[in-house]
Amino acid sequence: MAAVWQQVLAVDDFEEDPRAQGARGHRRSVSRGSYQLQAQMNRAVYDERPPGSLVPTSVAEASRAMAGDTTLSENYAFAGMHHIFDQHVDSAVPRLQFANDDKHLLACCSLDGTLSIMTLSPPPASVKVTLKGHGGPVTDFAWSLSNDIIVSTSLDGTLRIWNTEDGRCIREVRDPESSELLCCTFQPMNNNLTVRTQNDLRVGNSKHHLQVVNISTGKKVKGGSSKLTGRVLSLSFDAPGRILWAGDDRGSIFSFLFDMATGKLTKAKRLVVSEGSSICSISARSWISREARDPSLLVNACVNKLLLYRVVDNEGTLQLKRSFPIQHGSQLVHSIFCPLMSFRQGACVVTGSEDGCVYFFDVERNTKAIVNKLQGHGGPVLDVSFNCDESLLASADSTGMVIIWRREQK
């Protein structure tokens, strides 16, 4: 499996509402300004306030309340295993993700052709529903914002839309060229605005295409397609949904400008990370902490390193900031930013690794950047996911095992 990702989007009769793009919350804070200006504004907010004061937003207050006033190492002292799921044993679990703003609902997909939705509370933890219907390995999936729909892609050439309550397949969208579909995601701003926009999705296939598709109709969006140099393995939008980054199996990251009114894609920039090395994972974040104030992109490439880039302009140009050593040479390994905007000294990212471990790195620590290391998997760790308050961490590996780790209680 040299392919597993892709995120895309589709827009159908969408009208941009400036009022919906105010500065309420971190997700939309850069919707109308450049990344350079946003970074300067972030610095100004912090520099003008007394040491230890808060960013004056309700989201920031909530983040501090959940994070507490403990150190980075204390907050990421995950040790005990909360639960182990093995329903996909002997088939790799390439992707898993907690539901949006949810502590106890988790989903994963498997190369055995199924997906599982699991609930961790009330105990005991259990598999809530199994999604069956794909005729080949499931490569990726995405939760809708309201968590009532999951969209999945498969090597069988179909994109399926599922009801998360009863596991019904609501719609099947077959690729007209029967290409192997590798990844998918909902467009963030569309998902937020109307029920219809939850059905807008972008899909990438093994013939090196990105394609904007409206999943409510199954039709492609005019102007919403582009070609890459290799198979598309990873995608990530910025928070406003105006820039899409796509990584391929030839070592390149492309940025695309997305037209919110029409769904049109325009190719902007290309960065060659390492010729011939697959770009397996891309995650975007507008800012991480007081110390990490720039818009950033977290990248897993098959170069035995986790890479952190600054986003330096409105076209998605990337500048390498830090790299962290991990074992990663061939598998589709993924990483994540920690979900809470940190109010501690430092900022944390988490990644899987081919040595069977989960690594926590402080991106602002110049030496001894490893904050924590979790051991327990019997094969390469392919994906990791936090729940919304960082009390639980899920990790999945190439043997089909899913481990739920709990935060150490002081």
pLDDT of residue 80: 81
Q: Report d(CA 10, CA 181) in Å as an integer.
A: 16
- Among 317, 284, 398, 308, which residue's Cα sits nearest to residue 361? 308
Query: Strand ranges (DSSP E) for 145-180?
Result: 149-154, 158-163, 169-174
Q: Say whether pLDDT at 51 is over 70.
A: no
Q: Say whether pLDDT at 23 is over 70.
A: no
Token pair 């939008």 is found at 237
Confidence (pTM)? 0.81
- Which residue type sits at 357? C
What is the dihedral sign for C-alpha 135, 137, 140, 146? Answer: positive
Residue pair 173/158 in contact by the 8 Å Cβ criterion: yes
Query: Strand 381-386 vs strand 370-375: parallel, antiparallel, or unpaired?
Result: unpaired
pLDDT in tens, 69-118: 567 777 788 878 899 999 999 999 999 999 999 999 999 999 999 999 99
| Helix ranges restricted to H, 83-239 | 188-193
Question: Do you find a cis peptide bond into 124, omega within 30 degrees of 0?
Answer: yes
Average pLDDT of the residues of the chain:
80
* Dihedral in degrees, nearest 10, Cα atoms 28, 31, 36, 41: -50
Which CATH number describes the domain made up of 71-407? Answer: 2.130.10.10
Pull the structure tokens for residue 293.
């104030």
Q: What are phi and psi of 7, to 5 degrees?
A: -130, 145
pLDDT of residue 227: 81
Pull the structure tokens for residue 214.
């409206």
Contacts of 157 (CB under 8 A, 6+ apart): 136, 174, 175, 177, 178, 179, 180, 181
Element at 63 (helix H, strand E):
helix 58-67
Residue percentage of the chain with pLDDT more than 70: 76
DSSP bridge pairs for 403: 84, 395
Residue pair 178/157 in contact by the 8 Å Cβ criterion: yes
Q: Say whether pLDDT at 15 is over 60.
A: no
Element at 40 (helix H, strand E):
helix 35-47
For residue 177, give the DSSP letter.
Answer: T
Q: What are phi and psi of 179, to 5 degrees?
A: -75, 155
The better pLDDT of the pair 364, 52 is held by 364
- Among 215, 227, 231, which residue's Cα sits nearest to residue 170? 215
Q: Report d(CA 248, CA 6) in Å as an integer.
A: 9
Q: Report d(CA 203, CA 214) in Å as an integer.
A: 10
Q: Say whether pLDDT at 181 is over 80.
A: yes
Of 137-146, 174-183, 286-295, 352-361, the poorest mean pLDDT is in 286-295
pLDDT of residue 203: 57
Residue pair 140/4 in contact by the 8 Å Cβ criterion: yes
pLDDT of residue 339: 87
pLDDT of residue 187: 82
Contacts of 44 (CB under 8 A, 6+ apart): none
Of 10-14, 164-168, 183-187, 391-395, the poorest mean pLDDT is in 10-14
Residue percentage of the chain with pLDDT more than 90: 51
Pull the structure tokens for residue 260.
């919110």
Q: Once rounded to an integer, what is the mean pLDDT over residues 43-59?
A: 41
pLDDT of residue 26: 31
pLDDT of residue 191: 47
Residue pair 329/304 in contact by the 8 Å Cβ criterion: yes
- Among 291, 290, 287, 309, which residue's Cα sits nearest to residue 300? 309
In 10 A of CB 239, how many CB atoms? Answer: 19
Would you kindly state where each structural domain of the chain is located, as residue ranges?
A: 71-407
Of 36-45, 75-84, 239-248, the poorest mean pLDDT is in 36-45
Element at 280 (helix H, strand E):
strand 279-285
Q: What are phi and psi of 192, to 5 degrees?
A: -80, -25
